[in-house]
Amino acid sequence: MAAQETVDHKYVYDFAEGNKDLKDLLGGKGANLAEMTNLGLPVPPGFTITTEACKAYLATGEEPAGLADQIAAHLADLEREMGRRLGDPADPLLVSVRSGAKFSMPGMMETVLNVGLNDRSVVGLSAQAGGNDRFAWDSYRRLIQMFGKTVCEVPGEQFEHALDEAKRAKGTTNDLDLDADDLRGLVDAYKKIFLTHTGREFPQEPREQLDLAIRAVFESWNAERAVLYRRQERIPADLGTAVNVVSMVFGNLGPDSGTGVAFTRDPGSGAQGIYGDYLANAQGEDVVAGIRNTVPLQELERLDKKSYEQLLDFMARLEGHYKDLCDIEFTIERGKLWMLQTRVGKRTAAAAFVIAGQLVDEGLIDLDEALHRVNGAQLAQLMFPRFQLDHEFQPVAKGIGASPGAASGKVVFTSARAVELAAEGTAVILVRRETNPDDLNGMIAAKGILTSRGGKTSHAAVVARGMGKTCVSGADELDVNIPAKKFAVGEHVVTEGDIVSIDGTTGKVYLGEVPVMPSEVVQYFEGSVDPEHIDNALVRAVHRIMTHADATRRLAVRTNADTGADAARARRFGAEGIGLCRTEHMFLGDRRELVERLILARTDGERADALAALLPLQRADFIEIFREMDGLPVTVRLIDPPLHEFLPPLEQLAVNVAVAQERGEDVAKEEALLAAVRRMHEENPMLGLRGVRLGLVIPGLFAMQVRAITEAAVAVTRDGAVAKPEIMVPLVGAVQELETVRAEAEKIIAEVVGDSGVEVLIGTMIEVPRAALTAGQIAEAAQFFSFGTNDLTQMGWGFSRDDVEGAFFWRYLELGIFGISPFESIDRDGVGRLVRIAAEEGRAARPELKLGVCGEHGGDPDSVHFFHEVGLDYVSCSPFRVPVARLEAGRAAVETDGSDSR
Ligand code: ADP
Ligand code: MG
Ligand code: MG
């Protein structure tokens, strides 16, 4: 190597100097070219310019000191090895200049082939190819085209136009029919296009071509589409790309040459076999550009048996070496096979599970590694039903894919109608402008939810995701008219009873019924598949990996469930208890009247009567849940929302009162309600009279709930089941609040439990920042903590979830203030720190303190890893997320090295 390199920073690596673990420095393509070189596979010689050089260039706008000399030195070595010089008119070396970042960004960045050709060396190239003029001019026109487009921003259509023009003049549609003279003419046309657009002649100096191409690759890192792609895929913006300079091999030398791609297994299904495409007499980019029709890779056996067999051998070797599905780019030059690229291939969610299972069978990886190779997002995908879109279905609108899945059904516009039709066994899609808590029953009854307003965190979206129900939100092309029971979209009008289909993954809305396939994986979780006799490869792999995750994980997984039905479903999905049973829905529906009586009570007696009427209803709810969760812990949260949420909205009441007065009816009750609503109005309900504050202010409210819970537990126990109630006090910020509630509760519990043997725990949510910071004190009065990370996030950041999403989250994401909504994935540095402090100080004060988390973060893969690290005992999430949390808890337990599985 040149002496220069010992002085300057090393920016250039020969393929022989790298290996697959140097992706940060050499990019994925460069690292794997080096790995293949060192494995002894036939890789055309070349070198890699590091991502560090790219970063230095992007920071200053200039190549870093020493880079030009290092390139010259490596180029000289390459020329010596190849016995040819770049641009030599008699016998030229040609190279490709290829981008390649750490994470593959398909089609995002640039590659230029045939660098080193000019008006003189094109003749030498022809001589090299035994006088194949056609090939030489074809290669030259490709260089001008790619160079013009990627390096000098000449619009690509211009070149394509000229090519079409040449074919038309020749009376053909196949570029193989163009002969050397046609292509020479095309080169002239291309050069004119180049001149017109750039104001300069096409550069003839090979080293200048090389340097400009390298710069263009550096700069393509910041091209708009690359920036967008990175943001979407959450690839860091500061990695930079490496540049690979590779000596050219030619697949366009005639029928005994060609180029192709190959996969060692089917990236769609994971099935073993030979998958790929081959194109004879073509250069690399033709395959992807779809210029001519490729043939299946198996055809190569007939065309060139020797190369085919060699390729299969290399594929097997690569799979054995990488221990994973590899995808490969190769070129055959006159019967000689060259390997141009390999990487661990992308795959569908189903293939990821199937392949991981197969590799275990083949002894290539162990079960820990298999677990590491799949993830919760993939599992979640596999749990949704899918549309079979092979038919001609055109979407009529596109909203936000708010909760994935596929659903078809009759359109209904009200919750009541949804419940009615569903009870008759009709599939319905609930269509609303937006939803609110009163739509809950309709949402439960519907197959899917479609709204014309609201984003990914609108009520509809959040609730639907929680229920695992398909939802498209914010389909703003829909003009929804609830009173008229219809919506208009484009030239169509859809009325109640018409059938629509919605895809909650893509956000697309279809008229009519698109056939749906249920998820086999859900059928398996629901227990309709015998694990001993699974004939479906995917289900078998899921079963195996989930079993290992369960055996490995340290976190228990509970569920958030408010009804017996939810609890039963979650239990089938593997929930080991309920981490959050909300009690507020128990005050809705026909029980509103009792709640109104409670709120309007003027005397202690009236209040006590209302509570006494609620008690048996609540007790019945809890009995159902305790029965379903026989033997498992059930955390019940005492009532949390402000009570005025149970009253009708102010405007509606005001209208009711006015109308009734008009008619001369008795309005005493309406007026009293209206007055109550006015009195209870809050500027910031989120920070108002709710949670534990209600319990301290409204005599008997919490007491009634504690009694209902305990009586239910005792009743279930007397029936021979095991109830393990855990009473959870919401919104505590100071230990004194909890002590007060606890003192009252303990009296009731002692009285009700008697000799039944039932044990009731009392604990608190940690969802107010002050509670996290005084966790040591609070733990003195609490037997468990459950982190309410939704509120903790709201109060930690000081923004309300309902208000921020539409207002400014997009800007925060754009500015990178956070990479993902802190409501979706826990903010480790801030909110996560509060969790950590509370966990540590709580345990220091009471070592046996149980720690869990409820709230949507409990089902988010990244957050589950965080809770594992902090050492919580369990996470709790919606029933549908339970398998995802089980899988991720297992992954967290095997991934101690922090390696990423992208
Ligand atoms: P991408 O990252 O978009 O796949 P590549 O750098 O792999 O871009 O190059 C695009 C095409 O050019 C590929 O089909 C590749 O096989 C082909 N190619 C790249 N370098 C060479 C070379 N030195 N000789 C022949 N073909 C090449
Ligand atoms: Mg490639
Ligand atoms: Mg809360």
pLDDT digit string (tens) for 495-534? 999 999 999 988 999 999 999 888 899 999 998 888 777 7
Q: Is 483 helix (H, G, I), strand (E, B) or coil?
A: coil
Please work out, in degrees rounded to the nearest 5, the angle formed at the alpha carbon of residue 135 by the alpha carbons of 133 and 138: 105
Question: Which residues fall within 8 angstroms of residue 305, CB to CB, at 6 or more apart?
Answer: none
Structure tokens at 235: 């690839």
Residues 446-500 pLDDT 10s: 999 999 988 776 778 877 876 778 999 999 999 999 999 999 999 999 999 999 9
* Ligand 1 atom closest to residue 251's alpha carbon, by position in its atom list: 25
Pocket flag, ligand 1, residue 457 (CB < 6 Å):
no
Output the CA 326–ligand 2 centroid distance in Å. 13
Alpha carbon distance 463, 445 (integer Å): 13
| Nearest residue (CA) to ligand 1, atom 19 | 96
Q: What is the pLDDT of residue 478?
A: 95
* Å from CA of 92 to ligand 1 middle: 19
Query: Which one, of 214, 206, 223, 219, lies nearest residue 67 by Cα?
Result: 214
Phi, psi of 692, rounded to the nearest 5 degrees: -55, -25
Residue 405 Cα to ligand 3 midpoint, Å, equals 28
Pocket test for ligand 1, best of 78, 278, 341, 343 (most atoms within 8 A of CB): 341
Q: Which residues are catalytic?
A: 459, 854
| pLDDT of 711 over the 90 cut | yes
Query: For residues 231 and 194, what is the distance between their CA atoms, to the nearest angstrom?
Result: 33
The span from the CA of 839 to the CA of 782, in Å, is 13
Ligand 1 close to Cβ of residue 104 (< 6 A) = no
Q: Are 260 and 301 in contact (CB under 8 A)?
A: no
Q: Spell 567-605 as b/e; 16+ CB within 10 A means b.
A: bbbbbebbbbbbbbbbbbebbeeebeebbbbbbbbeeee
Task: For residue 329, give the ligand 1 atom closest to its CA.
Answer: 16
How many C-alpha atoms does 325 have within 13 Å on its Cβ side? Answer: 28
- What's 896's DSSP letter? -
CB of 246 closer than 6 A to ligand 1? yes
C-beta 241 within 6 A of ligand 1:
no
Q: Whose CA is nearest to atom 12 of ligand 1?
A: 284
Q: Which of 6-15, 171-180, 737-746 has the highest mean pLDDT?
A: 737-746
Q: Is 795 in the pocket of ligand 1 (CB under 6 A)?
A: no
Confidence at residue 900, expressed as pLDDT on a 0 to 100 scale: 43
Residue 902: band (very low, low, confident or very high) from pLDDT cuts 50, 70, 90:
very low
Closest Cα to atom 13, ligand 1: which residue? 284
pLDDT in tens, 553-597: 999 999 999 999 999 999 999 999 999 999 988 888 778 888 889
Instruction: State how far the alpha carbon of 652 is from the alpha carbons of 480, 667, 677, in Å.
Output: 21, 14, 11
What's the pLDDT tens digit per position in 601-623?
A: 989 999 999 999 999 999 999 99
Averaged pLDDT, 276-293: 78
| Minimum CA distance residue for ligand 1 atom 27 | 284
Cα–ligand 3 centroid distance for 67 (angstroms): 57
229 confidence band (pLDDT: 50, 70, 90): confident
Residue 724 pLDDT > 90: yes
27-31, 210-214, 321-325, 897-901: least confident range = 897-901
How far away, in angstroms, is 327 Cα from ligand 2 center? 10
Report, as an integer, the average pLDDT of 429-442. 88
**Ligand 1: residue whose CA is nearest its atom 6:** 98
Residue 427 has pLDDT above 50, yes or no: yes
630 by DSSP, 3-state: which?
A: coil
Q: Would you say the CB of residue 252 lies under 6 angstroms from ligand 1?
A: no
Tell the burial category of 250 from Cβ atoms under 10 Å away from its Cβ (0-12, 13-18, 19+).
Answer: buried
pLDDT one-digit tens code per residue, 231-274 = 767 788 899 999 999 999 999 898 999 999 999 999 888 988 88
For 266-286, give the DSSP string: -TTT--EEEEEEEEES--THH
For ligand 1, say whether the CB of 248 is within 6 Å of any of its atoms: yes
Ligand found nearest the CA of 289 = 1
Q: How confident is the model over 821-856, as pLDDT tens digits?
A: 899 899 999 999 999 999 999 999 999 999 999 988
Q: Which of 344-348, 640-644, 812-816 has the lowest mean pLDDT?
A: 812-816
Cα–ligand 1 centroid distance for 348 (angstroms): 24
Residue 424 near residue 497 (C-beta atoms within 8 A): no
Nearest atom within ligand 1 for CA of residue 249: 24
Say which residues have a Cβ less than 8 Å from residue 84's Cβ, sequence separation at least 6: 91, 92, 93
Averaged pLDDT for residues 699-703: 96
Alpha helices in 408-536 (DSSP H): 415-423, 440-445, 459-467, 520-525
Which ligand is located closest to the Cα atom of residue 854? 3
- DSSP, residue by residue, 198-240: HSSPPP--HHHHHHHHHHHHHHHTTSHHHHHHHHHHT--TT--
Nearest ligand, measured from the Cα of 251: 1
Q: How far apart are the first and last CA of the chain?
A: 35
Decide: 371 in ligand 1 pocket, CB within 6 A. no
Q: Buried (b) or exposed (e) across 704-738, using 16+ Cβ within 10 A?
A: bbbbbbbbbbbbbbeeebebbbbbbbbbbbebebb
- Asked if 263 and 345 touch (Cβ cutoff 8 Å), the reply is yes
Asked if residues 689 and 682 have their Cβ atoms less than 8 Å apart, the reply is yes
The residue type found at 500 is V
Question: Cα(539)–Cα(519) distance, rounded to whole angstroms?
Answer: 10
Instruction: Tell how strand 295-296 and strand 272-280 pair up.
Output: antiparallel
Structure tokens at 706: 């504690």
How many Å lie between the centroid of ligand 3 and the Cα of residue 376? 25
What does the pLDDT look like over 71-112, one tens digit per residue?
999 999 999 999 999 989 999 999 999 999 999 887 677 889
Q: DSSP code of 432?
A: E
- What's the confidence (pLDDT) of residue 467? 72
Q: Is any atom of ligand 1 closer than 6 Å to the C-beta of 113?
A: yes
What confidence category does residue 391 fall into, taking pLDDT thresholds of 50, 70 and 90? low
Q: Please give the pLDDT value at position 4.
A: 47
Q: Best substitution site from 33, 48, 103, 111 to test ligand 1's pocket, by max atoms within 8 Å of Cβ?
A: 111
Atom of ligand 1 minimally distant from the CA of 341:
7
- Residue 86 Cα to ligand 2 midpoint, Å, equals 23
Burial class from Cβ neighbours inside 10 Å (0-12, 13-18, 19+) for residue 428 reads buried
Q: Where are the alpha helices (DSSP H) in 121-170?
A: 121-128, 133-146, 152, 156-170
- What is d(CA 607, CA 697) in angstroms, rounded to the nearest whole number? 13
Tell me if 327 CB under 6 Å of ligand 1. Answer: no
- Mean pLDDT, rounded, of the chain: 92
Residue 3 has pLDDT above 50, yes or no: no
Residue 44 CB less than 6 A away from ligand 1: yes
**Distance from the alpha carbon of residue 43 to the mean position of ligand 1, in angstroms:** 12
Cα Rg, the chain, nearest whole Å: 33
